[in-house]
Amino acid sequence: MSKEASYGRFFSSKAVGAKASMIRELFKALGKEDIVFFAGGAPAPESFPTALVGELAEEVIRDKGNEALQYGMTLGQPELREALLEWLIRKYGFKGDDLDIIITASSQQALDLAGRVFINPGDYIAVESPTYLAALQAFRYYEPKYVMVKMDDEGLMPEDLELKLRKLREKGRSIKFLYTVPTYQNPSGVTMSESRRKELLNLASQYDFLIIEDNPYSELRYYGAPVKTVKSFDDEGRVIYFGTLSKILAPGLRIGWAVGPKEIIRKFEVMKQSLDLCTSPLNQLIAWKYISEGYLEKHIPEIIQLYRPRRNAMIKALQDFMPEGVKWTEPKGGMFAWVKLPEEINTTELLNNALSKGVAYVPGESFYPNRDITNCLRLNFTYEKEERIRLGIQRLSQVIEEALRS
Amino acid sequence: MSKEASYGRFFSSKAVGAKASMIRELFKALGKEDIVFFAGGAPAPESFPTALVGELAEEVIRDKGNEALQYGMTLGQPELREALLEWLIRKYGFKGDDLDIIITASSQQALDLAGRVFINPGDYIAVESPTYLAALQAFRYYEPKYVMVKMDDEGLMPEDLELKLRKLREKGRSIKFLYTVPTYQNPSGVTMSESRRKELLNLASQYDFLIIEDNPYSELRYYGAPVKTVKSFDDEGRVIYFGTLSKILAPGLRIGWAVGPKEIIRKFEVMKQSLDLCTSPLNQLIAWKYISEGYLEKHIPEIIQLYRPRRNAMIKALQDFMPEGVKWTEPKGGMFAWVKLPEEINTTELLNNALSKGVAYVPGESFYPNRDITNCLRLNFTYEKEERIRLGIQRLSQVIEEALRS
């Protein structure tokens, strides 16, 4: 084959149709030019307990080298699974003797596994509108049909979900699961109220579906009381809970987990065998030391101290610079604010202009399966420092102002 | 749902049908009782350069903490990709300016990615008979049809492959790729001759298919001259090459790679985005230090020194203890010998008896897609020490002898 030859004839139809993640592509530009980077979901490197992790790594390899460097169980290292379950039960009130946990290559792998384990082509699943784009990318491979659930300031609207479930039922159909990021949602920053969490569980029982609760952000709480997980109200074993160390320790370890009924976790295990055999035992044991020796609980307040002023700087800058007609959410935790522009502005088309003016964001359409809402954008407020955040929002406001004028 | 409730109605049909890997299940018994463990593919823990890896981990986190602990590129860390490509070009004579490399969560993920990228349900692929069981497990999800290629002492038989390709062509069909472990094959221990490697490439050109060359073992060479890779003869960009550090450094790092034409590696990249975003940058940087500072080249002879006597101990014990009518391969490298029993013996049925007598192996049927050959078994000779190997083969021989008598 010559250099110009294409390999297209060898690709599966899904590979031909696969689209690169816009964020992953934007990520390639990170740090290359003077661009204020609101596009990622990456923690600030200043938040990493670097020296400590270095010591723990050395310690773990010295004391448990034969486990750390060897193949591990597909379910994960027993020490870490136990420490995490203990933490989740104590802190979030998970209950039931049918709980099991599997360690995954961060939550992205858990999302892919959910697709593998539950979705037949054409099956319905429900997601928030908007929802986390990498979840959509993971599910997409499995060809589900989507039920989009409307959101307001209290998170997803149960009455909208019920309406849609009833219509499906009339057609003899139902959803396999609802995927939600209920706390400091990605991308909107919105948090589901406690009463709605209970309503959601009632609907799950009534319409017989599962709930995937993806909860990477709840520890990053800047204002308000701690938010109870959906899982903590789950009496029927309907909630599969995803967590990760990426936002509260370090994404570089690639450690996440799924907690749920044993029968379901067993399916995750069998499917994970053929994906990667196991997640790095070395990284799992570093995480285990970090958690079981109490560093996690001690370190989270330091991350909050770092991020709260950044969140405030972004809200203040939005207030100071954004032109009339632009709206945004004011999240009490997490990493993201969601900005809604007047409908005539297409944020995907706007992106090149923004990049050339030195500011990066994620266009909102990626957060909708049909990419049919095009006037929103997602801003990350944890990666850049306060002054840079102000500068970036100023730049973005000018780009938007120009677009509104033309 | 009550504790007895089943979640079966929520599972995808592929999840319902998924089978656990026999090896992974056997692995759970490892170290639990006095069982001589020939069932794994795990390196001997004595082969790990533990102290050094501990130092490198600490060093990498100290010097490059912001990269090691952060999200990384989906393709992998540039330092490691460069060091690996340099090593592969120098050592294996890879050529062509169309080469690219992606870092994967060991070769298991590369196998899954190959399934995703190439296989539509019903597509034909060719595999050696027998072939690596975890490759079958990975491909199985994508529902290929198999062309089984016969093997003899020189590896797969090109004339058998050609016969089957011609028959397929008569039906208007062809294969997408051939998957091969050409050097010290898993499970058989057999190595493909150089002339057959060239014949294979000629067939690939003539019948227009790709070749996946999975090469985890070639550095573990106990006898004979270095074996040239199929990829080193590849003038047409038809070979995708998989490698791993699992057998020459440590499986716990979960570092593997796929090398091939840019267009194909790009598809692997896009598919990997939704699987796990990236492989742990921490582990990649440890691997990079290890390779670029020359430790890999220095350490491999030490592993060989450790494994060669074990390989010899197994062959000697097989000669000393096995009853008449049992045959085995005598591999010049790698980790496995393949044992063929008289046809009336079913090695899957024999396993429980063997376990109760204190010896574990992998039944051969797992290495055939149709599980229709049931009188073979795979033995790993690198995990246990010489005396234990002798003891284990003695136990196994007794179990087989009893079965032959009954």
Dist. CA A176–CA A143, nearest whole Å: 13
- Residue B54 located in a structural domain: no
Sheet with B327-328: strands ordered across: B327-328, B336-340, B376-380, B362-363
- What does the block give as tokens for B404? 């032959």
Q: Which of B141, B176, B254 sits opposite A280 (nearest CB)?
A: B254
Q: In which region does residue B317 sit, left (phi positive, over 0), alpha (psi from -120 to 50) or beta (all else)? A: alpha
Cα four-point dihedral sign B230, B233, B239, B240: positive
Closest CA to A191 of A215, A175, A159: A215
Q: Average pLDDT, stretch B83-112?
A: 93
Rounded to 5, what percent of chain A is helix, strand, coil?
50, 15, 35
CB proximity under 8 Å: B 168-207 to A: 176-177
- Cβ-Cβ contacts under 8 Å, B276 against chain A: 105-106, 108-109, 112, 254, 276
- Residue B17 located in a structural domain: yes
User: What pTM value is reported for the model?
Assistant: 0.96
Work out the angle between the directed axes of helices B295-321 and B281-292 (0-180°, nearest 10): 90
Model pLDDT, residue B29? 61
Q: Please tell me if residue B138 touches chain A, with a CB cutoff of 8 Å.
A: yes
Cis peptide before B130 (omega within 30 of 0): yes
> Does the structure show a pLDDT above 50 at B218?
yes
- Residue B290 located in a structural domain: yes
Q: Which of A71, A138, A274 sits opposite B112 (nearest CB)?
A: A274
Q: Average pLDDT, stretch B228-254?
A: 97
Work out the angle between the directed axes of helices A262-276 and B133-140 (0-180°, nearest 10): 120
Q: Are residues A180 and A305 in the same domain?
A: no
- What does the block give as tokens for B222? 């106990």
- Cβ-Cβ contacts under 8 Å, A62 against chain B: 50-51, 54
Q: What is the dihedral of CA B398, B399, B400, B401, to 10 degrees?
A: 50
- Residue where one domain finishes, among candidates B246, B272, B296: B296
Return the amino acid letter for A276.
Answer: D
Strand B362-363 and strand B376-380: the pairing is antiparallel
Angle at B344 between CA B340 and CA B350, to 5 degrees: 75
Cis peptide before A130 (omega within 30 of 0): yes
φ and ψ at residue A270, rounded to 5 degrees: -60, -40
Which helix (H) or strand (E) element contains residue A394? helix A386-405
Q: Which of B66, B142, B282 sits opposite A253 (nearest CB)?
A: B282
CB proximity under 8 Å: B 210-229 to A: 210
Q: Are residues B115 and B13 in the same domain?
A: no
Encode pLDDT of B40-50 as tens digits.
899 999 999 99
Model pLDDT, residue B4? 46
Q: Which of B13, B66, B264 sits opposite A45 (nearest CB)?
A: B66
Q: Are residues B95 and B240 in the same domain?
A: yes
Q: Are residues B239 and B335 in the same domain?
A: no
A403–chain B nearest CA distance, Å = 32
Closest CA to B142 of A251, A317, A116, A209: A116
Dist. CA A214–CA A240, nearest whole Å: 8
CB A140 within 8 A of CB A147: no
Encode pLDDT of B23-65 as tens digits.
666 766 666 668 999 998 999 999 999 999 999 999 999 999 9
Q: Are residues A103 and A209 in the same domain?
A: yes
In the block, residue with structure tokens 């202009």:
A353
Q: Which of A19, A57, A142 sits opposite B58 (nearest CB)?
A: A57
- Residue A56 located in a structural domain: no
Dist. CA B286–CA A66, nearest whole Å: 17
B70–chain A nearest CA distance, Å = 5
Which of B64, B273, B295, B299 to mutate to probe the A interface, most A CBs <10 Å? B273
A275/B109 CB distance under 8 A: yes
Q: Are residues A103 and A176 in the same domain?
A: yes
User: What is the 3-class SS of chain B, one letter each residue?
Assistant: CCCCCCCHHHCCHHHHHCCCCHHHHHHCCCCCCCCEECCCCCCCHHHCCHHHHHHHHHHHHHHHHHHHCCCCCCCCCHHHHHHHHHHHHHHHCCCCCCEEEEEECHHHHHHHHHHHHHCCCCCEEEEEECCCHHHHHHHHCCCCEEEEEEEECCEECHHHHHHHHHHHHHCCCCEEEEEECCCCCCCCCCCCCHHHHHHHHHHHHHHCCEEEEECCCCCCECCCCCCCCCHHHCCCCCEEEEEECCCCCCHHHCCEEEEEEHHHHHHHHHHHHHHHCCCCHHHHHHHHHHHHCCHHHHHHHHHHHHHHHHHHHHHHHHHHHCCCCCEECCCCECCEEEEECCCCCCHHHHHHHHHHCCEECEEHHHHCCCCCCCCEEEEECCCCCHHHHHHHHHHHHHHHHHHHHC
> What's the pLDDT band for B101 if we cut at 50, 70, 90?
very high
Smallest CA–CA distance from A249 into chain B, residue: B69
B406–chain A nearest CA distance, Å = 36
Based on the structure, what is the number of domains in chain B? 2
3-class DSSP assignment, residue A379: strand
Q: Are residues B100 and B245 in the same domain?
A: yes
Angle at A142 between CA A276 and CA A349, to 5 degrees: 105
3-class DSSP assignment, residue A258: strand
For the CA atoms of chain A, what is the radius of gyration?
Answer: 21
Model pLDDT, residue A140? 95
Dist. CA A273–CA A282, nearest whole Å: 18
- Residue A62 located in a structural domain: no
> What's the pLDDT band for B2 if we cut at 50, 70, 90?
very low
- Residue A54 located in a structural domain: no
- Residue where one domain finishes, among candidates B296, B312, B335: B296
Q: Are residues A111 and A208 in the same domain?
A: yes
Q: Are residues B41 and B143 in the same domain?
A: no
Q: Could you tell me the CATH number of the domain that includes residue A24?
A: 3.90.1150.10
Which of B25, B123, B254, B383 to mutate to probe the A interface, most A CBs <10 Å? B254
What is the CA A1 to chain-centroid distance, rounded?
A: 42
Smallest CA–CA distance from A266 into chain B, residue: B20
ipTM: 0.95
Model pLDDT, residue A29? 61
Dist. CA A95–CA B52, nearest whole Å: 43
Dist. CA A298–CA B53, nearest whole Å: 28
- Residue where one domain finishes, among candidates B257, B276, B296: B296
Model pLDDT, residue A4? 46
Dist. CA B157–CA B148, nearest whole Å: 11
Which of B2, B16, B37, B71 to mutate to probe the A interface, most A CBs <10 Å? B71
Closest CA to B91 of B268, B220, B219: B219
Q: Which of A54, A105, A277 sits opposite B61 (nearest CB)?
A: A54
Average predicted confidence (pLDDT) for chain B: 95
Which of A277, A289, A335 to mutate to probe the B interface, most B CBs <10 Å? A277
Dist. CA B167–CA B177, nearest whole Å: 16
Q: Are residues B288 and B315 in the same domain?
A: no
A159–chain B nearest CA distance, Å = 24
CB B170 within 8 A of CB B164: no
Closest CA to B62 of A180, A15, A148, A54: A54
Model pLDDT, residue A31? 61
- Residue B103 located in a structural domain: yes
Model pLDDT, residue A19? 76
Q: Are residues A110 and A207 in the same domain?
A: yes
Q: Could you tell me the CATH number of the domain that includes residue B193?
A: 3.40.640.10
Q: What is the dihedral of CA B285, B104, B297, B378, to 10 degrees?
A: 140
Q: Average pLDDT, stretch B329-339?
A: 98
Q: Are residues B330 and B362 in the same domain?
A: yes
Q: Please tell me if residue B23 touches chain A, with a CB cutoff of 8 Å.
A: no
Which of B12, B112, B270 to mutate to probe the A interface, most A CBs <10 Å? B12
Q: Average pLDDT, stretch B310-336?
A: 98
Smallest CA–CA distance from A117 into chain B, residue: B15
Beta-carbon contacts of residue B97 (< 8 Å; ≥ 6 apart): A3
Task: Per residue of chain A (406 residues), give pLDDT as tens.
Answer: 444 459 999 999 999 988 777 666 676 666 666 899 999 899 999 999 999 999 999 999 999 999 999 999 999 999 999 999 999 999 998 987 899 999 999 999 999 999 999 999 999 999 999 999 999 999 999 999 999 999 999 999 999 999 999 999 999 999 999 999 999 999 999 999 999 999 999 999 999 999 999 999 999 999 999 999 999 999 999 999 999 999 999 999 999 999 999 999 999 999 999 999 999 999 999 999 999 999 999 999 999 999 999 999 999 999 999 999 999 999 999 999 999 999 999 999 999 999 999 999 999 999 999 999 999 999 999 999 999 999 999 999 999 999 999 8
Domain extent for A168: 70-294
Taking CA atoms, B390 is separated from B38, B191, B321, B398, in Å, by 11, 25, 9, 12
Percentage of chain B lying above the pLDDT 90 cut: 92
Model pLDDT, residue B95? 80
- Residue B56 located in a structural domain: no
For the CA atoms of chain B, what is the radius of gyration?
Answer: 21
Angle at B165 between CA B159 and CA B168, to 5 degrees: 145
CB A400 within 8 A of CB A406: no
Q: Average pLDDT, stretch B149-177?
A: 98
A129–chain B nearest CA distance, Å = 20
Dist. CA B238–CA B205, nearest whole Å: 8
